[in-house]
Amino acid sequence: MINKRLLIKNLLAHNDESSFYDKKRKIDLGSKEGKAKFLKHICALSNSNPKNNSFIVVGVEDEANEIRGVDFFDDSKLQNLVNAYLTNAPLISYENVMFPHLPPDKVVGLVTIRPTGEITSLRKNIWKYWGGSIFLRDGSISMPKDFDIEIKDVNSEIVKSIENKAKNNIEHTLDGVIDFMNNRHDELESHYKVFKEQFVVCWAGNTKQVKKDTYYSRVDIELINEQVRLFYSALDEVTIEVTDNHFKTIEYVSLGLNNRQEHYPLEEVVITFQENGSYKIDSKMIFEPPRFNKKTLHHIYNANNALVKKLKKNARLTPSEEKDLQNLPETYLICYLNDFSEAKEKLLEAKPYLKETNGKVYEAYKETVRILRKVRYN
């Protein structure tokens, strides 16, 4: 079992990016350009490493090789993007890896690319890249290749050595459990569970009891053996179900108008642990968007647009507008879910202005975008 934090440290010890890994300050999957560049690197790394895993480390300053971190990213449908745009698509996973020196809401992203051994190419056009394009790594650069295309194994031994050095041990696991429960979450209700005598899952959060169900808010769930964060949200609530074989969460999103909030089930995630030392994660969207009166939503939508215009002009807001601003990300989301198709773009346009306001509004914006991303894929 590989400790992903150690793996990242071992990769970064190779100060220069190479043909088996790349590092990025961040990735942007919200734009065509960002998606295209991401797919280019996946394609090149897969072709240049036909016999071994390759990696993209996200949240690292390139020149200084400094770990800065990124927001938690839990897009379980990322494989769908790769399958849609690449032929002979590799298997990929995105994991959120904890580093003790980072703020609680920051992680380092680790993209692992598992090749098919066949030549991977773009299936169709995206941004400025043509369908049929093939990319390979030229040192630390992903380059197009038009002729003399040959995939060969040059990195399997060095990657195997790096992965072996990152294998977990009992000391790392115990240190991780103690740090999670006694240091990072000493003010929250914390639990741990050992599965199949191998895997340790820790979770923490504020709890509230509704009839027979326990709901967690400010939730943090981690697979300690691998130093991977499985779920994190400062706003949404989850229920947790634990058996000897699986760990199941249901995430709820709070939506409503005029301070009349209700919780709606969003996504169910089940981690199943096997006797052979492996596990699998299955996720299922169970969200049924709430419907609201269209006349009321038209009024809210127009008010939100007017509010964003004032933010763009740096105009002073009235007390009533300040209150509406707190709910702007959520109400744009509700409009989008009720067939106001342009509400998503309006929300994304507002990002730089919301970022300059108080932190709570921007946190609500990031949480709303996370939900939008999940809903859009489904």
171 — pLDDT class (breaks 50, 70, 90): very high
Integer Cα distance of 361 and 366 in angstroms: 9
* Position 17 pLDDT exceeds 80: no
Residue 91 has pLDDT above 90, yes or no: yes
pLDDT band at 77 (very low <50, low <70, confident <90, very high): confident
What pLDDT, on the 0 to 100 scale, is given for residue 209? Answer: 86
Please, is 183 exposed, middle or buried when counting C-beta atoms within 10 Å of its C-beta (0-12, 13-18, 19+)? exposed
Residue 5 has pLDDT above 80, yes or no: yes
Name the band, by pLDDT with cuts 50, 70 and 90, for residue 211. confident
Does 374 have pLDDT greater than 90?
no
What burial class does residue 87 get, using C-beta atoms within 10 Å of its C-beta: 0-12 exposed, 13-18 middle, 19+ buried? middle
Share of the chain above pLDDT 90, in %: 81
Predicted pLDDT at 160: 95
Q: Residue 157 pLDDT > 80, yes or no?
A: yes
Enumerate long-range contacts of 190-196, CB under 8 Å, 24 or more apart.
192/224, 193/242, 193/247, 195/244, 195/245, 195/247, 195/273, 195/279, 196/245, 196/273, 196/274, 196/275, 196/277
Q: What is the mean pLDDT of the chain?
A: 93
State residue 324's pLDDT score: 94
pLDDT band at 377 (very low <50, low <70, confident <90, very high): low
**Number of residues written out for the chain:** 378
Is residue 136's pLDDT more than 90? Answer: yes
Q: What are the phi and psi torsion angles at 289 (to 5°)?
A: -60, 135
pLDDT at 278: 92
pLDDT surpassing 70 at residue 378: no
pLDDT value at 10 more than 70? yes
What's the average model confidence in pLDDT over 119-130?
Answer: 96
pLDDT-derived band at 16 (thresholds 50, 70, 90) equals low
What pLDDT was estimated at residue 358?
Answer: 73
Smallest CA-to-CA distance from 349 within 311, 375, 303 is with: 311
* Residue 127, pLDDT above cutoff 80: yes
Residue 15 has pLDDT above 90, yes or no: no
pLDDT tens-place string over residues 95-112: 999 999 999 889 999 999
Query: CB under 8 Å to 374, separation ≥6 — which residues?
Result: 75, 77, 266, 267, 285, 287
H/E element, 365 = helix 359-377
- The confidence score (pLDDT) of residue 233 equals 84
